[in-house]
Amino acid sequence: MLRIKNLKCSYGSIVAVHGVSLSVKKGELISIIGANGAGKSTLLLAICGLLKNWEGEIVFQDKDLKGMSPPAIVRSGISMVPEGRQIFSPLSVMDNLKMGAYTMYRKGLKSQVEEDFDMVMEMFPILRERAHQLAGTLSGGEQQMLAIGRALMARPRLLVLDEPSMGLAPKIVEMIFNVITTLQSQGVTILLVEQNARAALKISHRGYVLETGKMVLQGSADELLVDDDVKRAYLGRDYGDFYDGRDA
Amino acid sequence: MQEIIQYLFSGITTGAIYAVIAVGLSMLYSSTELINFAHGEFVMLGAMAIVTLWVHMALPLPLAFAGAVALGCCMGLLFERLAIRTARTPQPIVLVIITVGASIFLRGVAMIVWGKDPFSVPAFSRHDSIEIAGAALLPQSIWIVGAAVLLAGGIHFFLKKTLTGKAMVACAVNKKAAWLTGIPSEKMGILAFAVSTGSGAVAGIFIAPITMSSYDMGTMLGLKGFCAAMIGGLGSLWGAFAGGILLGVLESLGAGLISSGLKDAIAFILLLLILYICPGGLFSAKEAKRF
Ligand SMILES: Nc1ncnc2c1ncn2[C@@H]1O[C@H](COP(=O)(O)OP(=O)(O)OP(=O)(O)O)[C@@H](O)[C@H]1O
Ligand SMILES: [Mg+2]
């Protein structure tokens, strides 16, 4: 569904991504893990069109994304939940969701948008309570839910999430990850970037490890979870280790 | 007493025009975060266009009106396309300087087209003035205030209630996030320019009959509109509107009761006071921030 070949992204003289290749098949849940500054967000920005001057090839459903504007990419079926939520704080929760559905409204699919409101509100009941509150007043967790809801309003076939668990309490992280698996089971293809490597790999089919702009490792999630290098570098100890009595 | 009411009437009338100018500025600011220092020149273009179309060419008033507004919109679009969008480093300070340059350019072009002499425009309606408490209220004033309220209300409705308007606000708040949700940010910016400069032209059309119109009228009006928008708190449309009315009334009272030489100074004294005492403006938009 999504195929990236030899992608190279740079900011001026700084090369952030050196020749990365990856592929995502329809219905898969793929995670990309890597340390801070590895180039994960840069890779996602190139996919959704916010980054312009990349080299290589990004093909989504047989369509070359080179030179497409971000709105055109959204219309072709990719939605992104950006790093740090980036909700529209002076707009109400409802209006944020409406903005997410902008392309749907423009295609004249108003009744589908109404269904999607219900779908999102059901997924995140707290948003229904807060529907008329200004988005900037939401808590961090609620803002993340809103950011995901907003991306879903465009009915993406591929949902790209950049660190959705950042700065959230374990309970909320669990809930968000549950939502991600539910979405996947409903047929949305998902590309997930995470610091929270263990949690991400546990729900994924496959994973990629990015290190200083290079793809150093890839494999099925189960393989990566037991890989020694991955364990040392990214998994460390987490809550699970203490509860399960295992040691990483 | 009668005098004061008379001053109030004329103050509210000019104030309504300042309000429209301020609303146009504020609207552009809230959808592109750009302060357009050439806004006054679009007011001038509106006034000069009504001189040409209505007074000189004797077109029917509605047609002349539409023509003048269309000229304002088109010039705004050209301005956006040729000066703003081509900026190689679109940082706010660069763009602001571009608008200052554009204002000098537009004034120069207007001087070549219309010459240096001021023009007068007759009142739009020729009814007798209405007497209230001994003061004369011109029908023209009712026109102006009504149109100002309608225009500001329209823009307010557009930004708060329509999908396109909200998308415009979303672009101003977070352009990249707006892009990611599929909103074509550039188109929104273009639309904002057209609406803002068009409303500037409307202000010019309405001010033409109550003052003399000349190629250099825009500078002062633009600055007054800027003062009004600052008084109201940039980004708040009703604040800008109230700021305009307040400025008009204070100017009129100050000029009438103290000294007519004070008229233009009042705006700037007020602006300084506001910046000093409450820099966010009197009616600044509530920030939806948690800290
Ligand atoms: N606008 C920019 N200009 C210059 N360099 C940049 C810019 N954005 C990112 N970089 C650099 O590119 C590299 C990759 O950044 P990126 O944001 O993709 O990392 P990341 O993997 O998402 O990290 P994190 O996990 O901390 O979010 C970093 O070294 C960063 O300093
Ligand atoms: Mg990142």
Domain range list for chain B = 2-290
Answer whether A102 touches B (CB < 8 Å).
Answer: yes
Q: What is the pLDDT of residue B261?
A: 81
Q: Per the structure block, which two tokens stand in for B160?
A: 């708060």
Q: How far apart are CA B141 and CA B202, in angstroms?
A: 15
Q: Which residues of A touch B176 (CB under 8 A)?
A: 50, 82, 86
Q: Per the structure block, which two tokens stand in for A21?
A: 């290749």
The total of other beta-carbon atoms located within 10 Å of residue A77's CB is 18
For chain B, the first-to-last Cα distance in angstroms comes to: 48
Residue listed under structure tokens 């032209």: B201
Q: How far apart are CA A50 and CA A52, in angstroms?
A: 6
**Torsion-angle region of residue B266: left (phi > 0), alpha (psi -120 to 50) or beta?**
alpha
Minimal C-alpha gap between B79 and chain A (Å): 23
Interface residue of B162, B179, B181 to substitute, partner A, most A CBs within 10 Å: B181
Ligand 1 atom closest to the CA of A213, numbered from 1:
14
Please tell me which of the candidates A98, A134, A150 has its beta carbon nearest to residue B166: A98
Name A208's bridge partners: A32, A218
A42 lines ligand 1 (CB under 6 A): yes
Minimal C-alpha gap between B188 and chain A (Å): 12
Q: How far apart are CA B232 and CA B224, in angstroms?
A: 12
Q: At what angle do helices B185-207 and B61-79 cross, to 10 degrees?
A: 140
Q: Is A236 exposed, middle or buried (0-12, 13-18, 19+ CB in 10 A)?
A: exposed
Please tell me which of the candidates A69, A79, A89 has its beta carbon nearest to residue B288: A89
**Torsion-angle region of residue A20: left (phi > 0), alpha (psi -120 to 50) or beta?**
beta
Please tell me which of the candidates B167, B179, B184 has its beta carbon nearest to residue A50: B179
Minimal C-alpha gap between A16 and chain B (Å): 20
Please indicate whether, in this complex, the C-beta atoms of A89 and B169 are within 8 angstroms of each other: no
User: Buried b / exposed e across A147-158, counting CB within 10 Å, b at 16+?
Assistant: bbbbbbbbbbbb
Residues of chain A where predicted confidence (pLDDT) is lower than 50: 239-248
Q: Which residues of B touch A82 (CB under 8 A)?
A: 176-177, 180
Please indicate whether, in this complex, the C-beta atoms of B170 and A134 are within 8 angstroms of each other: no
Minimal C-alpha gap between B211 and chain A (Å): 39
Q: How far apart are CA A218 and CA A161, in angstroms?
A: 19
pTM (predicted TM-score): 0.83
Size of interface A-B (CB pairs under 8 A): 81
Q: Supply φ then ψ for residue A22, to 5 degrees.
A: -160, 165
Q: For domain A1-76+194-234, say whether CATH 3.40.50.300 is its number.
A: yes
Please tell me which of the candidates A69, A89, A154 has its beta carbon nearest to residue B289: A89
DSSP-assigned letters across all residues of B244-284 = HHHHHHHHHHIIIII-GGGHHHHHHHHHHHHHHH-TT-TTP
For residue B23, the Cα-to-chain-centroid distance in whole angstroms is 6
Q: Per the structure block, which two tokens stand in for A27?
A: 């219905």
* For A45, nearest residue in chain B (alpha carbons): B180
CATH class label, B2-290: mainly alpha
Q: Supply φ then ψ for residue A37, to 5 degrees.
A: 80, 10
Which residues have CB atoms below 5 A from the ion given as ligand 2? A 41, 83
Hey, whose CA ends up nearest to atom 29 of ligand 1? A37
Q: Do A40 and A213 meet the contact criterion of CB atoms below 8 Å apart?
A: no
Q: Which residues does B contribute to its contact with A (CB < 8 Å)?
A: 163, 166-167, 169-170, 173-174, 176-184, 285, 287-290
Interface residue of A68, A75, A86, A88 to substitute, partner B, most B CBs within 10 Å: A88
Question: A42 CA to middle of ligand 1, Å?
Answer: 6
Compute the C-alpha angle A141/A145/A151, nearest 5°: 145
Q: How far apart are CA B83 and CA B4, in angstroms?
A: 45
Q: What is the pLDDT of residue B12?
A: 94
Q: What is the pLDDT of residue A241?
A: 46
Q: What is the pLDDT along chain B (291 residues), one digit of tens a residue?
A: 788 888 999 999 999 999 999 999 998 988 888 889 999 999 999 999 999 999 999 899 899 999 999 999 999 999 999 988 888 777 888 888 999 999 999 999 999 999 999 998 888 877 777 877 777 888 888 888 999 999 999 999 998 899 999 999 898 888 889 999 999 988 898 999 999 999 999 999 999 988 889 999 999 999 999 999 988 887 788 889 999 999 999 999 998 888 888 888 888 888 888 888 877 777 655 554 444
Please indicate whether, in this complex, the C-beta atoms of A74 and B177 are within 8 angstroms of each other: no
Compute the C-alpha angle B234/B235/B236, nearest 5°: 95
Domain range list for chain A = 1-76+194-234
Q: Which residues of B touch A42 (CB under 8 A)?
A: none
Q: How far apart are CA A80 and CA A88, in angstroms?
A: 15
Question: A34 CA to middle of ligand 1, Å?
Answer: 12
Residue listed under structure tokens 């189960």: A222
Q: How far apart are CA B184 and CA B169, in angstroms?
A: 12
Nearest to A155 by CA among A190, A113, A191, A122: A113
Residue A139 contacts by C-beta under 8 Å, 6 or more apart in sequence? Answer: none
Please indicate whether, in this complex, the C-beta atoms of B170 and A88 are within 8 angstroms of each other: yes
A53 lines ligand 1 (CB under 6 A): no
Ligand nearest to the CA of A20: 1
Please tell me which of the candidates A70, A98, A154 has its beta carbon nearest to residue B179: A70
The total of other beta-carbon atoms located within 10 Å of residue B146's CB is 11
Hey, whose CA ends up nearest to atom 3 of ligand 1? A11
For residue A172, the Cα-to-chain-centroid distance in whole angstroms is 16
Please indicate whether, in this complex, the C-beta atoms of A154 and B163 are within 8 angstroms of each other: no
For residue B60, the Cα-to-chain-centroid distance in whole angstroms is 25
